[in-house]
């Protein structure tokens, strides 16, 4: 059975978590919905329970590029902890699901009232910085096939299922590469029995094999998250 609670909220002491949830409201993550817009004020923070969100940057006339992904392991809107209310990216729901939502001012007050929450969200900001630096290096140095395997694993982790809907065109945009490159890599994965793909429906058949095909950034990213989240406040 998949876990349907946000991991950050799970990490809070029981009383603190209960208090924080009393300030939140349920919110559905609708596929393709934009939860934040580049350069505009953040009105809410989101704590996904299922589903996941892509952080996408638009530069001039170039296609959008994914620079981050948020699922139940994290939150959207951690910048509010620093008093910042604008971001350089758009936040787009990539996998539908459900979340907890809290208003920007309410979150800032909760951080003051619940010390454990402040410490936790500060660590999520540090993780975001490290992950985006790692993603930049990955985009520069690793081949398409390895990056595709990493992206599929990250998506599967957050979707919490072996099968999800995604198009090759969308993947090419998220990876910042030509569609032909994604088509070739995905075709190789199908021939090797790692995935099954038909008309936008992708199924992971061999998780272990896909992990072997991914670049080292996938495991480095997971290790980073564990190390920073287990740090003593």
Instruction: Report the alpha-carbon distance of residue 19 to residue 117 in Å, rounded.
Output: 11
Give the rounded percent of residues in the chain with a pLDDT score beyond 90: 57
Where residue 2 falls among pLDDT bands split at 50, 70, 90? low
**pLDDT, tens digit (0-9, with 9 covering 90-100), for 25-77:** 999 999 999 999 888 889 999 999 999 999 998 888 777 888 889 999 999 99
Residues of the chain with CATH 1.10.10.10: 143-214
**Tokens matching residue 162:** 């072996």
Q: What's the CATH fold of domain 7-139?
A: Jelly Rolls (2.60.120)
Q: Where in the chain is the domain with CATH 2.60.120.10?
A: 7-139
Q: What is the CATH number of domain 143-214?
A: 1.10.10.10
* CA 24/CA 5 separation, integer angstroms: 13
Higher pLDDT, 233 or 176: 176
> How far, rounded to the nearest angstrom, does the alpha carbon of residue 114 sit from its chain's CA centroid?
25
Mean of pLDDT values over 167-178? 88
pTM, entire model: 0.88
């Amino acid at each position: 059975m998949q876990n349907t609670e946000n991991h950050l909220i799970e990490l809070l002491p029981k009383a603190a978590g209960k208090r924080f949830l009393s300030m939140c409201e349920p919110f559905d993550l609708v596929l393709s919905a934009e939860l934040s817009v580049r350069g505009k004020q953040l009105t809410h923070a989101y704590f996904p329970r299922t589903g996941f969100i892509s952080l996408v940057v638009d530069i001039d006339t170039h296609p959008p590029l994914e620079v981050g992904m948020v699922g139940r392991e994290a939150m959207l809107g951690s910048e509010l902890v620093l008093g910042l209310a604008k971001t350089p990216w758009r936040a787009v729901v990539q996998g539908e699901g459900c979340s907890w939502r809290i208003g920007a001012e309410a979150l800032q007050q909760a951080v003051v009232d619940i010390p454990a929450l402040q410490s936790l969200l500060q660590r999520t900001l540090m993780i975001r910085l490290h992950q985006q630096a790692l993603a930049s290096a990955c985009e520069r140095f690793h081949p398409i096939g390895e990056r595709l395997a990493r992206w599929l694993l990250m998506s599967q982790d957050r979707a919490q299922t072996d099968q999800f809907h995604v198009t090759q065109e969308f993947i090419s945009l998220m990876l910042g590469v030509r569609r032909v490159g994604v088509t070739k890599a995905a075709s190789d994965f199908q021939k090797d029995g790692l995935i099954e793909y038909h008309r936008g429906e992708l199924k992971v058949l061999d998780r272990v094999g896909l992990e072997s095909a991914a670049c080292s950034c996938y495991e480095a990213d997971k290790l980073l998250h564990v190390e920073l989240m287990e740090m003593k406040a």
